[in-house]
Amino acid sequence: DRLKTGSVIPVTPPPTSPATNHRLWPEIERMVEAQVMMAKMGIGECGSGWQLFAEDGEMKMYRREEEVDGMVVDPLKAVHVVKGITGHEVCHHFFSPQYRYDWETTLEHMTVLETISDDTLVFLQTHKRIWPASQRDGLFWSHIRKLPNEKDRDGPDIWTVVNNSTDHPDYPPNNGKCVRVFLTVCLLCQTTVDPPKEGMPLTRDNLSCKITYCSVVNPGGWAPASVLRAVYKREYPKFLKRFTAYVKNQTQSKPIMF
Ligand code: 6CM
């Protein structure tokens, strides 16, 4: 379907997914587009006020200090480059419920409330209580998607997972001991292949994955700003390092999943 000669640019058809009839679909479609666009922007391009708050090797984490009604909602943007894994593998492990307890250290309990389709789930999670605040839970849809690689049409696809808070009639917020958090998260992963020498096989040594992780979490109720910022400063680098190490470990002796 590639036009090599003319000046006509082929139009990418909209992604097809069996979830397209679901009530949440228009929101999912809108959010994925907006989040991916934001994630693709470099730190310099997405407004001012970003401060580097954690750095470790290739991993860099930035935040912007923001408050809404006195509650800390600091947007976070992290970039990392990890060798030996693909973007599809990273997104697959982030999205799939069967791995979640292995890498998500803040988790107390997780349930899949709804399977909208293979690529779209609704999760209810309770997180460990952090003193002196109340325990938190989160209810969100999660969608995994393959995106065309516009810059390198023959290169590997780009993959993304977007998580966004939603509601569910059976699980109203702030109904029990938990305060409901509101979150918008986007993980965007781009694989780079360093081609092997002529006649040599392609191995994991030829792969590298650029990971962008963006999140905005509203704690939903009282939480002391200084404690919250200290928790984020400790937990986000821990999460990204632990999660990517987990994906490397899970995939190292498996066939490459592009
Ligand atoms: O994105 C991450 N994980 C996903 C899968 O679990 C998902 C979940 C995000 C939940 C983020 C909220 C955590 C709860 C924070 C507690 C609230 C503060 C309590 C008050 C403290 C004084 O998108 C990785 C998330 C990594 C979080 C560090």
Q: Is 33 in the pocket of ligand 1 (CB under 6 A)?
A: no
Residue nearest to atom 24 of ligand 1 (CA): 239
Q: Is 130 in the pocket of ligand 1 (CB under 6 A)?
A: yes
ipTM: 0.96
106 C-alpha vs ligand 1 centroid, how far in Å? 7
| Residue 86: strand, helix, or coil | coil
Tell me the pLDDT band of 47, cut-offs 50, 70 and 90: confident
Q: What is the position in ligand 1's atom list of the atom closest to the CA of 236?
A: 28
Give the phi and the psi of residue 152 in degrees, each rounded to 5.
-135, 90
Q: pLDDT exceeding 70 applies to what percent of the chain?
A: 94
Give the pLDDT of residue 13.
Answer: 67
Mean pLDDT of the chain: 93
In angstroms, the CA 112 to CA 180 distance is 17
Q: What is the position in ligand 1's atom list of the atom closest to the CA of 239?
A: 26
Residue 160, beta-bridge partner list: 145, 188
Asked whether the predicted pLDDT for residue 98 surpasses 70, the reply is yes
Residue 137, beta-bridge partner list: 126, 180
Tell me the pLDDT band of 95, cut-offs 50, 70 and 90: very high
Residue to mutate (ligand 1; options 110, 113, 183; most atoms within 8 A of CB): 183
Domain span holding position 178: 22-40+51-195+204-251
Q: Is 14 within the bounds of a domain?
A: no
Q: Is 17 within the bounds of a domain?
A: no
Residue to mutate (ligand 1; options 93, 124, 136, 177; most atoms within 8 A of CB): 136
Q: Is 183 in the pocket of ligand 1 (CB under 6 A)?
A: yes
What is the rounded average pLDDT of the residues 92-118? 97
Give the pLDDT of residue 162.
Answer: 98
Tell me the pLDDT band of 9, cut-offs 50, 70 and 90: low
Q: Is 147 within the bounds of a domain?
A: yes
Single-letter amino acid code for the residue at 134: S
What CATH number did the domain enclosing 27 receive? Answer: 3.30.530.20
199: left (phi over 0), alpha (psi -120 to 50) or beta: left
The total of structural domains in the chain comes to 1
Q: Is 151 within the bounds of a domain?
A: yes
Q: Is 227 in the pocket of ligand 1 (CB under 6 A)?
A: yes
Give the pLDDT of residue 2.
Answer: 47
Q: What is the position in ligand 1's atom list of the atom closest to the CA of 131?
A: 22
What is the rounded average pLDDT of the residues 145-150? 93
Q: What is the position in ligand 1's atom list of the atom closest to the CA of 138?
A: 10
What is the rounded average pLDDT of the residues 143-170? 95
Tell me the pLDDT band of 3, cut-offs 50, 70 and 90: very low
In angstroms, the CA 226 to CA 218 distance is 15
Tokens standing for residue 41: 């922007």
Report which DSSP code applies to 249.
H
Q: What is the position in ligand 1's atom list of the atom closest to the CA of 185?
A: 23
49-81 pLDDT, tens per residue? Answer: 899 999 999 999 999 999 999 899 999 999 999
Q: Is 238 within the bounds of a domain?
A: yes
| Residue 149: strand, helix, or coil | coil
User: Which stretches of the chain are assigned E, i.e. beta strand?
Assistant: 51-56, 59-63, 67-68, 71-72, 76-83, 107-117, 120-127, 136-147, 158-165, 179-180, 182-193, 207-218
Flag the least confident range among 13-22, 42-51, 167-176, 198-207: 13-22
Q: Is 56 in the pocket of ligand 1 (CB under 6 A)?
A: no
Q: Is 1 within the bounds of a domain?
A: no
What is the rounded average pLDDT of the residues 6-18? 64
Q: Is 66 in the pocket of ligand 1 (CB under 6 A)?
A: no
| Residue 3: strand, helix, or coil | coil
Chain length of the chain: 258
Q: pLDDT exceeding 90 applies to what percent of the chain?
A: 85
Residue to mutate (ligand 1; options 77, 105, 110, 215; most atoms within 8 A of CB): 215
Asked whether the predicted pLDDT for residue 199 surpasses 50, the reply is yes
Q: Is 161 in the pocket of ligand 1 (CB under 6 A)?
A: no
